[in-house]
Amino acid sequence: MSDLLKDKALVIGIASSALFDLAQSDEIFREQGVKAYERYQNDHIDEPFQPGVAFPFISRLLRFNDLFDDRHKGVEVIVLSRNSPKTGLRVMNSIEHYRLGITRAVFRGGRSTFPFMDVFNMSLFLSANAQDVDAAVAAGQSAGCVLPYSAADADDDGNELRVAFDFDGVLAGDSAERNFRRMQQEDPDNALEQYAEYEREHADQPIEGGPLKRLLAGINTLQEAAARSTMEGKPSLRVYLVTARNAPAHKRAVQTLEQWGLTVDEAFFLGGLDKTEVLNKLSPHIFFDDQLSNLSARSLHIPAVHIPFGVTNGRNDS
């Protein structure tokens, strides 16, 4: 099956819990059990779910398919759901209601879905189920957990998609973070200075790719297609890098992206400052970060995704 999707710019797997607001359904499942959940979905089969945290990101992403004459190119979004095929009907009805270009789905009746990421050549799996995401990352897959977010989608420009990334542990691997932590253990008083010197000396040495490197590559492909297109009212895509790095460590991040052949439109090197105000001002439709502390502030008013990768998240297998 992956051969059918190998030419896609992007293939993304999304759980129904990330695409739609399933809070009420989940409450019934937890408090009343499977049978009550099935009855509830059947009774509301024609009632569409409300949009969820990742809905603005996914709905805008799918608009880029208008730029491709070849149906084998562009974006593919596939639902990966723990629902049964029967209860999954409401999910598919909701997709039809919102006229999302999603035609493929996997319903596993309570079983994990991320093992099928390789089958479909996916660059990312999004879910609101933290355990599923943790298991996917532990298996070497690129996955993120969408965090609760109830604000309505402010459609200030329906043709523009804004995506923001952290760098270390997200676009890049976490070797720099590991080095810093080692320096802190060995010489806590001088760790910051040693880290800055190390990054300066290795500025021309690219960091290893992280879990979302492929996602950025696909996004850049969509940006290139938009730049070539003469379609009136074509979609646009803006990419932000928002990282705790500062000078001189910023140079290695910039040159790593350049050596990968990937680009971002804007970069914010904050040197450990709180990211909240910058992100709220940018108002991305989605932001990816490996540090949960950067995403948990009540004053953060954007859809956010935790990437539980690397030593920051207690992993030693990255």
Question: Known catalytic residue: 166?
Answer: yes
Could you say which of 166, 168, 174, 289 is catalytic? 166
Which residue in this structure is represented by tokens 């509830």? 40
Q: Cα-flanking dihedrals φ and ψ of residue 182, to 5°?
A: -65, -40
Q: Is 160 exposed, middle or buried (0-12, 13-18, 19+ CB in 10 A)?
A: middle
Q: What is the 3-state secondary structure (H, E, C) of 135-177?
A: HHHHCCCCEEEECCCCCCCCCCCCCEEEEEECCECCCECCHHH
Single-letter amino acid code for the residue at 18: A
Three-state DSSP class for 95?
helix
Cβ within 8 Å of residue 175, ≥6 positions away: 207, 208
Strands 143-146 and 304-306: antiparallel
Which residue in this structure is represented by tokens 């990054």? 199
Active site residues: 166
